[in-house]
Amino acid sequence: MSREKKVLIPTESVRHLPALNAFEAAARLGSFQEAATFLHLTPSAISHQVRRLENVLGVALFVRRNRQIELTESGRKLQLHVSRGLAEISIGLQAVKEASDTSPLRISVAPSFAATYLSAGMAQFEHENPDITVHMEFSSRLVDLEASELDIAIRHTTQTRFSVFSEKLADVSGAPVCAPQIAARLVAGESIESIPRLTLLQAPGVWTLWNQAAGRMDIPPQRELLFESLSDGLQAAIDGLGLIMAPLGLIEKYLKTGQLVMPFKEKVERVSAYRLLCPHGNEASPKVLRLRRWIKAVIRNSGNIDGCCPVRKV
């Protein structure tokens, strides 16, 4: 009779799990302070755990310069293995937890992204994954994922660094657009600074990028209106309230009907992006992983990796 092999976990590794966890957080975030915040510890506790690990291994894992830290070659090597190991532990815990989990997958999606990719196809996802019930809300508002009950948020943003897991889904190219009567004022010689600027809260830096691409000085406008949602900002532009930096793929229908026009030829490639956000560790959970793979497949099959729709050359 064959005997089942037993896998022995070295007690040495188990004993150093807290130190390895502190090391991984510090290596990933590049700061003892940020690692302490992430793990709900003090910076001195993180430093002590890392120092203890260095003493056990007999090598320096970080080069310390004042309040800055940088991984050594040994540190980079260890980070690779520790990150994989902790990720496997996280996947195992999630797999056991979700085996009997019937709770819905709660996601919050930017309306423009949902209208293009998810609304029509979400029924297909649930059909292909009958064990997952999706509760989807539409919002462009920034959300604290650590404090909310949401599993995933998809947002249109210019940010690239987050305190939570972040994955870019699609780049977005943009250009200033406005109603025809606003364009007429610009053609007549009125300065762009005198036209009210319509700015999206989730993409505040796009005008600076466009000014750089157009070779213009980044002069603040005389008046600026802030909007939480792209749809509200576009409607304000259609109503003649000012200029908005809009994703080109989403405004083609307005350009065709003449409700909006492009008063300038310059545009900015990859001015912003749609990003999937979720608390660290959740990205590897079976439910979230399946949805991530499905969303990326939908985007890939649409053929529109840059932006949300095919973009005309203008």
Most confident of 176-185, 209-218, 289-298: 176-185
| pLDDT tier, 10 (very low <50, low <70, confident <90, very high otherwise) | low
| 17-29 vs 73-98: helix crossing angle, rounded to 10 | 110
Instruction: Say what the pTM is.
Output: 0.56
> Distance between CA 42 and CA 197 in Å, rounded?
43
Lateral strand order in the sheet of 134-138 = 134-138, 105-109, 152-157, 268-278, 165-177, 243-247, 197-200, 224-227
> What is residue 8's predicted lDDT score, i.e. its pLDDT?
42
Q: How would residue 49 be classed by pLDDT, with cut points 50, 70 and 90?
A: very high
pLDDT over 60 (residue 64):
yes
pLDDT value of residue 268 = 82
What pLDDT, in 10s, does the model give residues 191-249? 999 999 999 887 777 888 888 888 888 888 999 999 888 889 999 999 999 999 988 87
Averaged pLDDT, 141-156: 84
> Quick check: 225 and 242 in contact, CB under 8 A?
yes
Domains of the chain in sequence order: 11-98 (1.10.10.10), 103-314 (3.40.190.290)
Other Cβ atoms closer than 10 A to 20? 21
Q: Is the pLDDT of residue 262 over 90?
A: yes
Q: Tell me whether residue 58 is exposed, middle or buried, using C-beta atoms within 10 angstroms of its C-beta: 0 to 12, 13 to 18, 19 or more.
A: exposed
On the question of pLDDT at 3 being above 70, the answer is no
